[in-house]
Amino acid sequence: MPSVFAHIKSWSVLTCFLSSLLIPSLSSADLALNMPKGSTPVSEMVYDLHMIILYICVVIAIIVFGVMFWSIFHHRKSKGHKPANFHESTTVEVIWTAIPLLILIVMAIPATEGVFAMYDTEDSEVDIQVTGYQWKWRYQYMGEDVEFFSNLSTPKEQILNQQSKGEHYLLEVDEPVVVPVNKKIRFLLTSNDVIHAWWVPELAVKKDAIPGFINETWTYITEPGVYRGQCAELCGKDHGFMPIVVKAVEESEYLDWLNQKKQLRLAELAKAAAEAEQTWDMNRLMTTGKDVYEKNCLACHQAQGEGLPPVFPALKGSPIIKGEIEDHINIVLRGKTGTAMAAYGPQLSDAEIAAVVTYERNAWGQNDAWKENKGETVQPADVAKLR
Amino acid sequence: MNDTVANPDSNSVPDHDHHQPSGLSRWLLTTNHKEIGTLYLIFSFVMLFIGGGMAFVIRAELFQPGLQFVDPNFFNQMTTMHGLIMVFGVVMPAFVGLANWMVPLMIGAPDMALPRMNNWSFWIMPFAFGMLLSSLFMEGGGPNFGWTFYAPLSTTYAPPSTTFFIFGVHLMGLSSIMGAINIITTIMNMRAPGMTLMKMPMFVWTWLITAFLLIAVMPVLAGCVTMMLMDIHFGTSFFNAAGGGDPVMFQHIFWFFGHPEVYIMILPAFGVVSQIIPAFSRKKLFGYHSMVYATASIALLSFVVWAHHMFTVGLPVAAELFFMYATMLIAVPTGVKVLTGLQPCSKVR
């Protein structure tokens, strides 16, 4: 025993010295290889906990591997060493059961405090309901009449390598989540279809969005800034294409934005109501319909209505398109249970649904009469009747 | 009366015509543990390259940002199939092959206890994986929901080939369960006289414990995929909240299998290491009793840590803490095994 310990001593002194040279650079602000320190008390706690445990593991590794490599090298057969004949030692067994147990208890204490902190969603000042969809997020600010969808805004051309990629490739959206700094924000997570997960690394927030359930999590951002995250639970083909952008701003800016959003929403609702009264002509229906289709339907049913059968059926020339208009409107409004077709009634206005149904029935060469402003149209009133 | 001089090759007893089959019959119908072990190893090797090829597709696509070679849906099929093949088609059959070869030899048995069942355990595998691989070519493509196939992505939103995936899992599970029964029966009943349990080589011990894990959890996996089948085809709502079910329950059931599964994959490897180190240190395994008890503790503890795969699903805080502590606890017997295993390297003179 004594000779082994003598060697351990010199090895560990040397390696501790070497690693101490590395430690400052390892813990300096946001080394690209390390996890971010983040801008919330929770993210800092998570970072600190991670670093403590990492250091403990590094020391243990140096000792264990050090002894191992030295023993193997020093006692190799070619040097004439003969194996010693001992194969039990209760003392040693007790020591290397007790010491790891103690180390674990030391780790478990801050870890437990951390878990309790992450679970404490009481007394929030802003509550946001986050719903995962295939393949976008929807945000509803509880108690305020503000809600919107947040879609990936990276252009398809960048994804298909036809254009050079922007700085925030696949991490940018059309509508970020705007929140105030220095206020406790609670997120209520759920899903419209499959399990998604809402993850923003710099806030140290990650929680699953599960259909039929509501999960709670919270954050408290101390630094204004833009924090980008991703969906963290495989949810289908565009799982990698539904990012999250959180914009943390001073409270006054937040209140302004909130107001703006409310006005916009009222305007939207008024517009939808007005449009629902109007009679739309073919051209207007087809143009709006194309927009709505590209934003909502194209991901599954594809650009020419060809779909990805059998999970995402083709629209072009399909029984639904050729059949009764009522059935077509109904399937868009209510979805189809037991399939991936979601209900778009809550998401789209009467005019939008009328437009997209008209588009689907006439586009892709199915009926070119629309180009002369002729053909069978679906009016917003038709949709309203079926809601 | 013997004709050994005139005909040296024939027996002196009446000839019962023991023709050894050759060719296809030999390999299709063998009950010999070495031949079956070889079959498993060859199968595993072939699957290694198939799964490895899929890994290359993944890495080629991910080498640069943007879509270069495959579309996202096919990419998801590659990641799913790669996982399924490596877990169920490479690692598990490879260790079963090693067990078939080594366990009878190491305990002094003439063969496995149930040689014909042994043969069937193997031959199920090529059929199960043939079916799984063929699903890639079916309409709608193969499984694309990850090797952990969470519902409802794998039920309501899955391609039609999922039914074949489920069937493949059932078959492969059957093979594993029968193999495990065979291993336990062999080890418990056919050890050479004088070989008590605490005199067996470590590889045999780790496989004995692994076999118990297999019998305990493969039926759970079978139950899980059967519930999926019910949800997909028979209108049940096991994993559909709208019908009163629970997608998180899927995860609990899957990981109750999934965690012991990873120990099933590593325990035989621990056994192999415990054989290699003493051989090359030229001395007996240190702390044999601790190694056995530590392995058994790891196996036992592996049943109570499954939710560490579910820390973000929204478990109650008490559950989250329990699973965290239990997971940390497993480090103790594992550490004992590592440190014990390293002993033979030291204190040589």
Contact B157 A208 (CB under 8 A): no
For residue A86, pLDDT over 90 is answered with: no
Mark which residues 76-95 of B lie under 8 Å from A by CB: 76
Average pLDDT (A158-186) is 95
Rank A113-122, A283-292, B20-29, B334-343 by mean pLDDT and report only the highest: A113-122
Q: Provide the pLDDT for residue B264.
A: 97
A12-26, A143-157, A224-238, B169-183: least confidently modelled range: A12-26
Tokens of A237: 């083909």
- A6 close to B (CB below 8 A): no
Contact A87 B286 (CB under 8 A): yes
Q: Using an 8 Å Cβ cutoff, are A198 and A207 in contact?
A: yes
A149-153, A278-282, B255-259: least confidently modelled range: A278-282
Contacts of A211 in chain B (CB under 8 A): 152, 241-242, 247
In tens digits, chain B (349 residues) has pLDDT values of: 444 455 555 555 555 566 778 889 999 999 999 999 999 999 999 999 999 999 999 999 999 999 999 999 999 999 999 999 999 999 999 999 999 999 999 999 999 999 999 999 999 999 999 999 999 999 989 999 999 999 999 999 999 999 999 999 999 999 999 999 999 999 999 999 999 999 999 999 999 999 999 999 999 999 999 999 999 999 999 999 989 999 999 999 999 999 999 999 999 999 999 999 888 888 888 788 889 999 999 999 999 999 999 999 999 999 999 999 999 999 889 888 888 877 766 655 4
- B339 close to A (CB below 8 A): yes
To test the contact with chain A by mutation, choose from B332, B337, B340 the residue with the greatest count of A C-beta atoms within 10 A, namely B332
Residue A85's pLDDT band (cuts 50, 70, 90): low
For residue A22, pLDDT over 80 is answered with: no
Contact B67 A159 (CB under 8 A): yes
- B186 close to A (CB below 8 A): no
Q: How far is CA A8 from CA A5, A40, A106, in A?
A: 5, 41, 24
For residue A9, pLDDT over 80 is answered with: no
What is the per-residue pLDDT across B154-197, written as a single tens digit (0 to 9) for each? 999 999 999 999 999 999 999 999 999 999 999 999 999 999 99
Contact A96 B283 (CB under 8 A): no
Mark which residues 268-307 of B lie under 8 Å from A by CB: 281-290
Contact B314 A216 (CB under 8 A): yes
To test the contact with chain B by mutation, choose from A93, A171, A308 the residue with the greatest count of B C-beta atoms within 10 A, namely A93
Greater pLDDT, A86 or A254: A254
Q: Provide the pLDDT for residue A141.
A: 96
Our CA-based measurement puts residue A26 at a distance from the nearest CA of chain B, in whole angstroms, of 25
Contacts of B314 in chain A (CB under 8 A): 207-208, 210, 213, 215-216
With CA atoms as reference, the chain A residue closest to B66 would be A159
Chain centroid, CA A100 distance in Å: 36
Contact B140 A309 (CB under 8 A): yes
Mark which residues 143-172 of A lie under 8 Å from B by CB: 158-161, 165, 169-170
Q: Provide the pLDDT for residue B9.
A: 53
Residue A8's pLDDT band (cuts 50, 70, 90): very low
> SS3 letters for chain A?
CHHHHHHHHHHHHHHHHHHHHHHHHHHCCCCCCCCCCCCCHHHHHHHHHHHHHHHHHHHHHHHHHHHHHHHHHHCCHHHCCCECCCCCCHHHHHHHHHHHHHHHHHHHHHHHHHHHHHHCCCCCCEEEEEEEECCEEEEEECCCCEEEEECECCCHHHHCCCCCCCCCCCCCECCCEEEECCCEEEEEEEECCCCEEEEEHHHCEEEEECECCCEEEEEECCCCEEEEEEECCCCCCCHHHCCEEEEEECHHHHHHHHHHHHHHHHHHHHHHHHHHHCCCCHHHHHHHHHHHHHHHCHHHHCCCCCCECCCECCCCCCHHHHCCHHHHHHHHHHCCCCCCCCCCCCCCCHHHHHHHHHHHHHCCCCCHHHHHCCCCCCCHHHHHHHC
Our CA-based measurement puts residue A85 at a distance from the nearest CA of chain B, in whole angstroms, of 7
- A206 close to B (CB below 8 A): yes
DSSP string covering B238-294, please? TT-GGGT--HHHHHHHHHHHHHHHHHHHHHHHHHHHHHHHHHHHTSPPTTHHHHHHH
Mark which residues 18-77 of A lie under 8 Å from B by CB: 64, 67-68, 71-72, 75, 77
Contact B286 A86 (CB under 8 A): yes
Q: Using an 8 Å Cβ cutoff, are A213 and A224 in contact?
A: no
Our CA-based measurement puts residue A169 at a distance from the nearest CA of chain B, in whole angstroms, of 9
Q: How far is CA A387 from CA A182, A320, B210, in A?
A: 42, 18, 58
Contacts of B340 in chain A (CB under 8 A): 93
Task: Count the Cβ atoms, other than its own, within 10 Å of residue A164.
Answer: 9
Mark which residues 46-65 of B lie under 8 Å from A by CB: 65
What is the value of ipTM here, to two decimals? Answer: 0.89
Q: Provide the pLDDT for residue A7.
A: 47
Q: Using an 8 Å Cβ cutoff, are A108 and B306 in contact?
A: no
- A232 close to B (CB below 8 A): yes
- Residue among B94, B46, B34, B88 nearest B269 (CA): B94
Tokens of A104: 């674990």
Out of B76, B289, B349, closest to residue A82 by CB: B349
Q: Provide the pLDDT for residue B45.
A: 98
- Residue among A264, A255, A254 nearest A146 (CA): A264
pLDDT more than 90, % of chain A: 58
DSSP string covering B195-223, please? --GGGS-HHHHHHHHHHHHHHHHHHHHHH
Q: Provide the pLDDT for residue B210.
A: 98
Our CA-based measurement puts residue B202 at a distance from the nearest CA of chain A, in whole angstroms, of 15
| Contacts with B345 (C-beta within 8 Å, 6 or more apart), sequence order | A68, A71, A72, A75, B277, B281
Residue A1's pLDDT band (cuts 50, 70, 90): very low
Residue A16's pLDDT band (cuts 50, 70, 90): low
With CA atoms as reference, the chain B residue closest to A211 would be B241
Residue A365's pLDDT band (cuts 50, 70, 90): confident
Contacts of B146 in chain A (CB under 8 A): 234
In whole angstroms, give the CA distance from residue A23 to residue A54.
Answer: 11
Our CA-based measurement puts residue A295 at a distance from the nearest CA of chain B, in whole angstroms, of 18
Mark which residues 251-310 of A lie under 8 Å from B by CB: 308-310
